[in-house]
Amino acid sequence: MIRWVTVFVLLLLLVLTSWIQDSLQEKEPVKIKDRGEPDSIMWDFKRTDMNEKGLPKAKLEADLMKHYPLDDSVELERPVMEIYNEDRVLPWHITAESGWLSGDGEKLLLYGKVYIWRDEFHQKGENSVHETAREIELITTDLKILLKEEYAETANFVMILSKHSKVTAVGLQANFQTRNLKLLKDVRGHYEKTNSPK
C-alpha cells in the first residue's frame, strides 16, 4: 500500500512539474494559419522608435510587411534594423531573411541567417577627415530581440569577427546598449597577434 502511495505522489509531482514548466514557457507566435489572413500589406515598410529626448532609438525597415489583426502582429520580409546607442555616433545594424513583430511592438523574432555589425569611428589628420571601419560582426540564425531592453538572444551557432579575432560558440546573449556579449557554450577562439610599435 505504501509503495502505491509513493508511486502516486511521484506521478502527481511529475505532472505538476510539467504543467508549471509549460505555463512558464514564453508563448511563441501563433501559426500563420491560426491568425487568419492579413488585413493590410505594405511594401517598403519603415518604422522609427524615439527615445525620451525625441531622438531615434531604433529604425526598422522591410521589403514587405503583412499585418494580422487577430493578434496585431506583423510579418516582415528581409527586415533591416538599426539600434542606436546613447553616444549617438554609429548604430548597430541587423539584417535577416524574415521576421515577426509582436502586437505590442516589443518583441522581434528574426528568422534564417541573421547578420549583425557595428562600425567604429576614426578621425584622421588635421583636416578632420572621418573614416569608418568594421568594429565587430556577428553571424547567427533565428535571433530574438527585446526592443525595449535592447537585448537579443539565440540558442544557435554564432560566429563573431573583429579585426584580430574570430570566435565561435553555441548560444548568445547580447546587450546592444552596454555592448556586452555573453557566449553560452562550446566557445572557441582564434586571435592574431599584433606587432606593437617600437
Strands 73-77 and 107-124: unpaired
3-state secondary structure (DSSP) of residue 70? coil
Q: Answer whether residue 198 is part of any domain.
A: no
Q: Answer whether residue 21 is part of any domain.
A: no
Q: Answer whether residue 101 is part of any domain.
A: yes
Give me the pLDDT at residue 13, please. Answer: 47
Q: Answer whether residue 57 is part of any domain.
A: yes
Cα–Cα distance for residue pair 64/44, rounded to 1 Å: 6
Q: What is the CATH number for 159?
A: 2.60.450.10
Cα–Cα distance for residue pair 94/22, rounded to 1 Å: 31
| Residues 6+ away with beta carbon under 8 Å from 147 | 49, 58, 105, 106, 107, 108
- Among residues 34, 28, 45, the alpha carbon closest in space to that of 70 is found at 34
- Which three three-digit cell numbers place residue 51? 527615445
| Domain carrying residue 79 | 38-191
Largest interatomic CA distance in the chain: 90
Give me the pLDDT at residue 55, please. Answer: 82
Q: Answer whether residue 30 is part of any domain.
A: no
Would you give the DSSP letter of residue 91? -
Give me the pLDDT at residue 63, please. Answer: 97
**Mean pLDDT of the chain, nearest integer:** 80
Give me the pLDDT at residue 159, please. Answer: 96
Q: How many CA atoms lie within 13 A of 63 on its CB side?
A: 6
Cα–Cα distance for residue pair 95/61, rounded to 1 Å: 10
Q: Answer whether residue 66 is part of any domain.
A: yes
Count of domains observed in the chain: 1
Regions of the chain short of the pLDDT cut 50: 2, 4-27, 29-32, 198
Q: What's CA 18's distance to the chain center, in Å? A: 28
Give me the pLDDT at residue 16, please. Answer: 46
Cα–Cα distance for residue pair 154/162, rounded to 1 Å: 20
Q: Which whole-number Å values give the CA distances from 61 to 47, 54, 146, in the listed order?
A: 6, 19, 17
Q: Answer whether residue 1 is part of any domain.
A: no
pLDDT digits (tens, 9 = 90+) for 50-94: 888 888 888 999 999 999 998 999 999 999 999 987 766 688 999
Helices (H) then strands (E): counts for the chain: 1, 11
Q: Answer whether residue 24 is part of any domain.
A: no
